[in-house]
A and B are shown apart, each in its own frame.
Chain A
Amino acid sequence: MNILRKTYKWLLTMVMLVTLGSCSLFDLDINTDPNNPSSANFALLLPSVELGGVGFFEGLNQNTHGFMGWLASADTYDLTFTSYNGTWNGFYSGPMKDLEEIIVAAEAQGNTRYLGVGQVLKAYFFSNFVDMFGEVPYTEAFAGGYASANINAKFDDDKDIYAALIKLCDDAVVNLNKTSPIAISGDLFYNGNVARWRKLAKTVKLRLLMNSRLDNPSAAAQIKVILDEGDYITTAADDFQFKYNRLAVPDGRHPWYQSSYVSANNAFTYILHQPMFEMLRDDDPRRPFYFKRQTSFTLNPEDPTDASTIPCSQLAGCTYAYMALNPTVIKELYTDKGKAYTATDRAFLSGFFGRDRGDISGVPADVDIRTVPGTYPAAGFYDNAASRSGNRGAAGAGDGISPIITSWMTKFYQIEAILALGIAGDARAIFEKAMREQMAKVVALGLSSDPNAVAPTAEAVDTYVNLILARYDDAPNNNQKLNVALKQAWYCNYGNGMEMYNAFRRTGYPSDVQIPVQRIRNFPLRLPQPAQETSLNKSAPQTPPAFDSPAAAIFWDKLKFKFQ
């Protein structure tokens, strides 16, 4: 029995060693994530909503500039069912999900200010979203994590969503008018200024009514109420815009700045020739703020390498082609104005190196030649001389803006209301104000972002404004006057492609945007709904109309534009 005693002694020792040395090994209550908070307050969520919302805005901005003849981004309409997967997914699971959490919690807590701000933001972003995609999940969205979870949100009719968003704006005004002890923090747009949020609520409503005016018989009356009340964005101080910072790490600069100036590989798309040409022709004082030339060297069409680098060199049907060597362009810009076309002029014009609309050619090694965005809206360089933009790294400004809804945009709404809806007002005077307000912002941003920037003389501005006003005056009827105004809006809204795209689908103006040299599909009446959503969401429409077919048009689009 000696053995047995020894055995037990040993056994006991071993068991004790194991259990004592490792008793915590049996504690399984350790599954709380030590790396991430389990809840977040409004002040933490709101910046995510706003930053994510701006990201969403910029995500569509280049393509809509492409649709509208400004940038060579999607300008042949080669859109597919995968083009916007990321945009769509990011919208719902990113800022709008966080926004939904704010709205739900603020409503439950009776936190009227956050609720009001949340409602305005939701109204704006969803209106933009509907304008782009048409019918989308709205009433049943964000329900994946709810007690009665729904991961197959139904797609709501675009018209119904519009009605709900207008209601949301009204609710926001009510909530923002309530007194609340809780201040708003974490607000990157208005720094918690409730009055400005209220103005935005009314402006968003104005925008919704303006977009849908052809489908809504009562729109005119409602628009009049807002305009008469005047409590909407009317001055630059109220502008709903996002201003970027100058930080290189993490890069918080304007996305166009990031792609044009930071790396040696200028990844920014081409700026199209038409706006460059016209701004040169009209001596538009904004031209050196909008476009930055990189080169003054004229390529030689006889040299094989240069030949295949020159825009449109492998394509027929271009209007502007390589402007520095294009006789038609030279005639209009110089000869017709009684000016000789000198070697200096040619060097100058060589810097306007972009593309004709719909030039489908591949990408030659031209990143040191292409015209890039200037100081507006990206806060890049002022075009006082041709110089290479790329490889600036942490240097330069980049603290540009995303002009989401500005005082001049509301003025263009007002002009449209006067000319198209017969609401009383002096459209011409408002038009002049709109132009001057926009130019003031362009110049101010230019002066703050590049020390070499030079403000245009008052004379130059006056000359230009008068030129445009003369065109307005010459227009024979209200429709044509609206065409002139919206052509000017086309220049003014550089930096906000959605605004141009909506105006165009609503009115068909401006009517003189270059017809694409080539196009793969017809003009997109909305964006293709992404396959990832439609294949995963069982409630999604299974056979959506092609994005360029009339059936795809947004409910308020009565024009259903099509290239003939």
Chain B
Amino acid sequence: MRKNLLLSLLLVCSTWVFSYAQDRKVTGKVTATEDGSGLPGVSVVVKGSTSGTNTDSDGNYSINLPTGNVSLVFSFVGTLTQEIQVGNRSIVNVQLASDTKNLQEVVVTAIGIQREKRGLGYAVVGLDAEDLAQRSEPDPLRALSGKMPGVNITGGGGAPGQATKINIRGFNSLTGNTQPLFVVDGIPFDNSVNAGGSGGFASNTGASNRAYDIDPNNIESVSVLKGAAAAALYGSRAVNGVILITTKAGSKKARKGLEVTYNSSYNEETVSALPDYQDVYMQGSNQNYNGGFIGNWGAPFPGEVDRINQEVYGGRSRYTKTNSLYAFGPNKGKPYPDGTAEIPLRARPNFCAAFPSLCDEFGNGVPIDLVPHDVVGGFLRKGSLIENGLNISSTGDKTSLNASLSRMTNKGVVPTQEGSRTSLSFGGTAQLTNGINISGNVNYVNTTTSNPPLGAGYYTDYGGFGNEGSIFGRLFYLPRNFKLNEYPFEYPLTGENLFYRPLDNPLWSVKYNRSNSTVNRAYGNMTLSYDIAPWLSFLVKGGINTYTDQRSRFQAKGGVSSPLGFVRKDTYGFTEMDYNALFTITKDFGDNFSFRAIVGGNANQRSTTRLVVTGTDIISRGLNNADATATQIVGEDSRTLRRLYGVYADMQFGFKNYLYLGLTGRNDWSSTLPVSNQSYFYPAATLSFVLSEALNLPAIIDNAKVRAAYGKVGSDTSPYSIFNVYPLGTAYRNYAGQTFYNATASNTLNNAELRPEFKSELEVGMEVQLLKNRIGIDLTWFSSDAKDQIVSQRIASSSGYNNKVVNAGWINNKGWELGLSLVPLRLNNGFEWNSNVAFTRIRTLVKDAGPQGEIFLGGTGLSALGTIHRTGEQYGQIFGTQNARDDNGNLLINRDTGLPFSLPSAQIIGNPNPDFTLGLTNTFSYKGFSLTALIDWRQGGDMYSATAASLLLRGQLANSVDREGLRVIPGVYGSPATYAPVLGGDGQPVKNTTGITSFDYHFSNGFGAYGQDEVNVYDITTIRLRELSAGYSVPKRFLTKTPFGSARMSVSGRNLLWKAPNMLKGLNFDPETLSSFPDSNIQGFDLGAQPTTKRLGINLTLTF
């Protein structure tokens, strides 16, 4: 809180720059009551005149006064204003106490303008450095998770740097972007994932979203503009809300003198949980061992044979310990020793020649013990997260400088998996002698990730995609008796892949196959401002944000998914320029009326380039360069360019200090729309009424404010959506060597009559502080309508096109956001318990999914399983196949198979949207100790889990060990031809009595991956201990003999405990996962990507 109060922009506070030569001089220092530190930027005004000054960065001021008995008024946002009679003094020192009334807190709003909360008619939430730093989380988005009402954040998975999805107040687009605009130090900051050219979710889920380039330890503050009214000034791109980040380098917070801060963290990272595997049955099917199978439906492990024979078969030898026979030599046909089987790799071509020690002289594989192995746990490793940062800030009279350097390395839980981020930044402000204020900063970030193939494993088996040898295609589903971590995984001389089936061995993939990304990003900005008159200032700000992501994917020769091996170089470049020029007018009319206005213009240009070259057939093993391959194909060489400019005005009228009316308007011109529709205007109005100032409220109410806002945001589309094109194909060479160049009409029908899309939003809210700020309530209700959206609508292909770009659709987002801050306990000895609640309940309703009534987005590779938007339903439903049932809901069972069967068309089988989310942060502090725990709770929402489906199918889970009897699926007999129950002689449905084996129950059309999609949908209500941090700040008195100004140590943990009670028992699958990159609208699927991790670490912060 205190920091918020101190936050200050020179822009706002430097209204008084010029003092006129006067009669006498008074100097002094303004300090904060709380800690005695100098307060910079405090306005010092001679009462009743227009002359005044500001304190410098140490809080010192000097002012010339006219003769006579004058008073000085010291005011500073967030503090109580003081008026002091100077008398004869030449030194006047003042202490300003912070105004505990929360409403005077300052928040950053559009264009970086700081405002008192009291005047705002909309909700803004903010977080400070201490809410984000050193929380065992290198991803700035995930560090925000659970802390802000109205904001939903979903991590994509557990790979270092893996992308994260963030949504503010629901979803505003059916097929387009739903990610908010990021603004760092006043300049837009691209947060794309840029999947595409380098492969989709099937081939690499490890891609980052580019907000990952921000080090959470370098963040000074985060402010989230949620509604249309709050964001209107950002224009088109704010339709999904805005995340405003102020970095330490971009911060204008001035501290006295020189401060050097060093922070360091070390965390250990492990996989968050593993399934409860069964270790009773081995690989095979129908209780027969088969060393070549994937599933675990084979005979019992030899160690279990006696027990099962005894317990189930009354001592009869239903099972034996014989599982292999010799195939060659004198023992041909004779069994391997009890409890062993032939090493399953023997069946692979040339195995005995390559591994003579694993075969006998006749070509039989050596016997191996049939015992269960910890396949997954033995494969994954302990990862780590190391963060180090150095921040230097120095403040002089007229200048301040801030430099920081940080480095993060994150070793993932998969062997060889690694990510890193190195950032350098330098920023400063200066007040030049001619009265110009100048500020700016430059930043450089280098972010790298390096992963073995991580594609979502689902695609291998069910989705119909090759997934380029993902280790997650197999790892979790391998036979329990398979000694993955000790068997050889490559042929010694050739380095070719070796596995018991012709699939890529995870160990081989880890050793030879990679997906690398190196991002070099530079961004910076410069601001010049000048106060033309006491009531008028001018500011111009410009910035550039540019990066190049050099990706390289390669797979060695000799694998299964890519036998020839390949090298794919993908270079993606992005550059954004953004300029703003604006006038700020601040004028009071008498004591009762205040007026402030911003009038400005904005110009923005974004350009991208992408070059994807794939070289196939690697010539020299280990040389992973495109030119060292037999054939290279340029898959993509593209560029895009888009521009947008706009003019805007933002006015606020204040009456007394309790009623504020805000009016904003903006007109944009976008290059991406047809010429006739390029220009569009959108307004917003806000109202804020501070009850506690206007009325005499009971004493327990410290503050009360009600607010309302209505706003509209217009939005353009992606470039080149207007005209139809004929993409060129890869040149075809026929059998005779003739070359045929070719082109094909695009499958997407573009639209030359597109109009901008608009979102309008109404929000009302109230903020109340009670009982001397022990209770703070910030409640908001909102309803937004995104209409006339530009969607790529799936149309019947008989039209000649698969998609049509149209203005269509209507999404309504309605919701409640509640922020509660409580101080349940505050003792005189300094003990304090703080509690913060962030509650979000959003309903995103698709009121119109366009003329077809629905939009199927797919997302799994299958044509009947995926995300669908349907008119009248909530956003993004899970669509898939369903078992046939009778009118009473009984499953219909095929009498021949004893299994259920599918309805003739797919249905909506789940709603992935949560009922609500709640984040609860409790902080206990006592003297230098503090303990913070963030627990979050996601209630409801469904997910199709391919992990569950596969583990069931493969007979892996501990809860599937009951296999010896037959099972009868509850239901009635039905006809697969008519989908109606088959009636018995009495005209009544007939109960199913057909028994099936546990293998058939899970393996065929029953309850596993081959069953109908609905059986693999689970409610993913989750309660999670997301963050835990316990720290100790060493008292200053212990540090007096040391060079340190302060020292703090803490222990922090992340994702330490979680419980998803409604998921499949024993699955232990953390449902916080994405089924696609965050810029996609697919939701509600776990497709078997890397599971989440947990971290536990220690942190140290020192200042000098």
Q: Which residues of A contact B (CB under 8 A)?
A: 3-4, 6-7, 10-11, 14-15, 17-18, 22, 25-40, 43-45, 47-48, 51-52, 80-82, 85-86, 88-94, 96-98, 100-101, 136-137, 140-145, 149-153, 186, 188, 243-250, 252, 262-266, 297, 300, 302-309, 314, 362, 364-368, 388, 390-394, 399, 520-521, 530-533, 535-538, 540, 546, 549
Among A11, A302, A305, A391, chain B packs the most CB atoms within 10 A around the CB of A305
List residues of chain A with CB within 8 A of the CB of B604.
25
B747 CB within 8 Å of chain A: yes
Q: Which 7 A-B pairs have the closest CB atoms?
A: A365-B292, A144-B799, A537-B796, A36-B725, A137-B798, A142-B800, A85-B863
Bound complex: CA of A131 vs CA of B753, how far in Å?
39
Contact residue among A142, A366, A393, A549 (Cβ-Cβ distance under 8 Å from B292): A366
The answer to whether A10 and B740 have CB atoms under 8 Å apart is no
List residues of chain A with CB within 8 A of the CB of B904.
80-81
List residues of chain A with CB within 8 A of the CB of B733.
245, 247, 252
The answer to whether A303 and B906 have CB atoms under 8 Å apart is no
The answer to whether B801 and A97 have CB atoms under 8 Å apart is yes
The answer to whether B284 and A33 have CB atoms under 8 Å apart is no
Bound complex: CA of A246 vs CA of B323, how far in Å?
44
Among residues 579 to 618 in chain B, which have CB atoms less than 8 Å away from a CB atom of chain A? 579, 581, 603-605, 616-617
The answer to whether A33 and B563 have CB atoms under 8 Å apart is no
Question: How far does the Cβ of B1030 sit from chain A's closest Cβ, in whole Å?
Answer: 51
Among residues 650 to 708 in chain B, which have CB atoms less than 8 Å away from a CB atom of chain A? 669-672, 675, 678
List residues of chain B with CB within 8 A of the CB of A137.
796, 798
Given A47-B742, A151-B801, 18 new contacts (CB under 8 A): A6-B434, A30-B719, A35-B720, A38-B725, A40-B744, A48-B742, A80-B864, A82-B862, A86-B863, A144-B801, A244-B735, A249-B630, A300-B327, A308-B284, A314-B285, A365-B291, A536-B852, A537-B796
Contact residue among B284, B348, B563, B745 (Cβ-Cβ distance under 8 Å from A304): B284
Bound complex: CA of A394 vs CA of B558, how far in Å?
12
Question: How far does the Cβ of A346 sit from chain B's closest Cβ, in whole Å?
Answer: 14
Q: Give the A-B contact count at a CB cut-off of 8 A.
A: 331
The answer to whether A145 and B530 have CB atoms under 8 Å apart is no
Contact residue among A15, A142, A303 (Cβ-Cβ distance under 8 Å from B327): A303
The answer to whether B800 and A93 have CB atoms under 8 Å apart is yes
List residues of chain B with CB within 8 A of the CB of A532.
794, 796-797, 856, 863
The answer to whether A93 and B734 have CB atoms under 8 Å apart is no
| Complex interface: stretch among B94-102, B640-648, B908-916 | B640-648
B289 CB within 8 Å of chain A: yes
Known contacts A18-B540, A143-B800; is-contact A25 B905 (Cβ 8 Å): no
Instruction: Give B499's nearest chain A residue, CB to CB.
Output: A264
Contact residue among A29, A100, A245 (Cβ-Cβ distance under 8 Å from B800): A100
Residue pairs across A and B with Cβ atoms less than 8 A apart, 11 shown, are A37-B728, A47-B740, A47-B742, A80-B902, A252-B732, A304-B299, A304-B323, A314-B286, A367-B501, A368-B347, A392-B563
The answer to whether A264 and B291 have CB atoms under 8 Å apart is no
The answer to whether B724 and A38 have CB atoms under 8 Å apart is yes
The answer to whether A536 and B324 have CB atoms under 8 Å apart is no
The answer to whether A362 and B1003 have CB atoms under 8 Å apart is yes
Contact residue among A37, A305, A308 (Cβ-Cβ distance under 8 Å from B743): A37
B293 CB within 8 Å of chain A: yes
Contact residue among A37, A141, A368 (Cβ-Cβ distance under 8 Å from B798): A141
Instruction: Give B289's nearest chain A residue, CB to CB.
Output: A304
List residues of chain B with CB within 8 A of the CB of A89.
797, 802
Known contacts A48-B743, A94-B744, A266-B502; is-contact A151 B630 (Cβ 8 Å): no
The answer to whether B347 and A152 have CB atoms under 8 Å apart is no
The answer to whether A307 and B617 have CB atoms under 8 Å apart is no
The answer to whether B603 and A88 have CB atoms under 8 Å apart is no
B564 CB within 8 Å of chain A: yes
Known contacts A264-B497, A388-B349; is-contact A25 B577 (Cβ 8 Å): yes
The answer to whether A300 and B325 have CB atoms under 8 Å apart is yes
Question: How far does the Cβ of A67 sit from chain B's closest Cβ, in whole Å?
Answer: 19
Question: 1/0 contact trace for B283-302 toward A, CB 8 Å?
Answer: 01110111111000011000
Contact residue among B560, B564, B581, B749 (Cβ-Cβ distance under 8 Å from A18): B581
B741 CB within 8 Å of chain A: yes
| Complex interface: stretch among B25-33, B384-392, B631-639, B775-783 | B631-639
List residues of chain B with CB within 8 A of the CB of A92.
797-800
Among residues 860 to 907 in chain B, which have CB atoms less than 8 Å away from a CB atom of chain A? 862-864, 902, 904-906
The answer to whether A51 and B732 have CB atoms under 8 Å apart is yes
The answer to whether B563 and A533 have CB atoms under 8 Å apart is no
List residues of chain A with CB within 8 A of the CB of B322.
304
Question: How far does the Cβ of A19 sit from chain B's closest Cβ, in whole Å?
Answer: 9
The answer to whether A308 and B579 have CB atoms under 8 Å apart is no
B727 CB within 8 Å of chain A: yes
B542 CB within 8 Å of chain A: yes
B50 CB within 8 Å of chain A: no
List residues of chain A with CB within 8 A of the CB of B435.
6
Question: How far does the Cβ of B1087 sit from chain A's closest Cβ, in whole Å?
Answer: 18
Question: How far does the Cβ of B721 sit from chain A's closest Cβ, in whole Å?
Answer: 8
Question: How far does the Cβ of B998 sit from chain A's closest Cβ, in whole Å?
Answer: 15
Bound complex: CA of A364 vs CA of B497, how far in Å?
20
Known contacts A305-B324, A368-B349; is-contact A48 B744 (Cβ 8 Å): yes
Bound complex: CA of A547 vs CA of B325, how far in Å?
47
B329 CB within 8 Å of chain A: no
Among A36, A186, A243, A388, chain B packs the most CB atoms within 10 A around the CB of A36
Contact residue among B290, B341, B563 (Cβ-Cβ distance under 8 Å from A264): B563
B9 CB within 8 Å of chain A: no
Known contacts A22-B579, A37-B743, A245-B734; is-contact A305 B292 (Cβ 8 Å): yes
B722 CB within 8 Å of chain A: yes
The answer to whether B802 and A364 have CB atoms under 8 Å apart is no
B1066 CB within 8 Å of chain A: no
Contact residue among A101, A145, A263 (Cβ-Cβ distance under 8 Å from B561): A263
Known contacts A38-B725, A249-B631; is-contact A308 B744 (Cβ 8 Å): no
List residues of chain B with CB within 8 A of the CB of A136.
798
Known contacts A265-B560, A300-B327; is-contact A37 B726 (Cβ 8 Å): yes
Contact residue among A30, A94, A304 (Cβ-Cβ distance under 8 Å from B671): A30
The answer to whether A365 and B293 have CB atoms under 8 Å apart is yes
B1061 CB within 8 Å of chain A: no
Bound complex: CA of A150 vs CA of B804, how far in Å?
12
Contact residue among B540, B734, B854, B905 (Cβ-Cβ distance under 8 Å from A243): B734
Bound complex: CA of A413 vs CA of B299, how far in Å?
55
The answer to whether B735 and A243 have CB atoms under 8 Å apart is yes
Question: How far does the Cβ of B535 sit from chain A's closest Cβ, in whole Å?
Answer: 13
Question: How far does the Cβ of A14 sit from chain B's closest Cβ, in whole Å?
Answer: 5
List residues of chain B with CB within 8 A of the CB of A297.
327
List residues of chain A with CB within 8 A of the CB of B557.
393
List residues of chain A with CB within 8 A of the CB of B88.
none
The answer to whether A245 and B560 have CB atoms under 8 Å apart is no
The answer to whether A264 and B560 have CB atoms under 8 Å apart is yes
The answer to whether B796 and A44 have CB atoms under 8 Å apart is no
Contact residue among A4, A28, A142, A399 (Cβ-Cβ distance under 8 Å from B799): A142
Bound complex: CA of A491 vs CA of B563, how far in Å?
33
Bound complex: CA of A33 vs CA of B530, how far in Å?
42
Known contacts A141-B799, A243-B734; is-contact A309 B292 (Cβ 8 Å): yes
Question: 1/0 contact trace for B521-547 toward A, CB 8 Å?
Answer: 000000010101100001010100000
Bound complex: CA of A36 vs CA of B322, how far in Å?
64
Question: How far does the Cβ of A245 sit from chain B's closest Cβ, in whole Å?
Answer: 5
B75 CB within 8 Å of chain A: no
Bound complex: CA of A51 vs CA of B733, how far in Å?
11
List residues of chain B with CB within 8 A of the CB of A263.
502, 560-561, 563
List residues of chain A with CB within 8 A of the CB of B324.
303-305
The answer to whether B726 and A36 have CB atoms under 8 Å apart is yes
List residues of chain A with CB within 8 A of the CB of B1023.
none
List residues of chain A with CB within 8 A of the CB of B1003.
362
The answer to whether B617 and A151 have CB atoms under 8 Å apart is no
Among B333, B502, B640, B724, chain A packs the most CB atoms within 10 A around the CB of B502
List residues of chain B with CB within 8 A of the CB of A25.
577, 579, 603-605, 643, 645
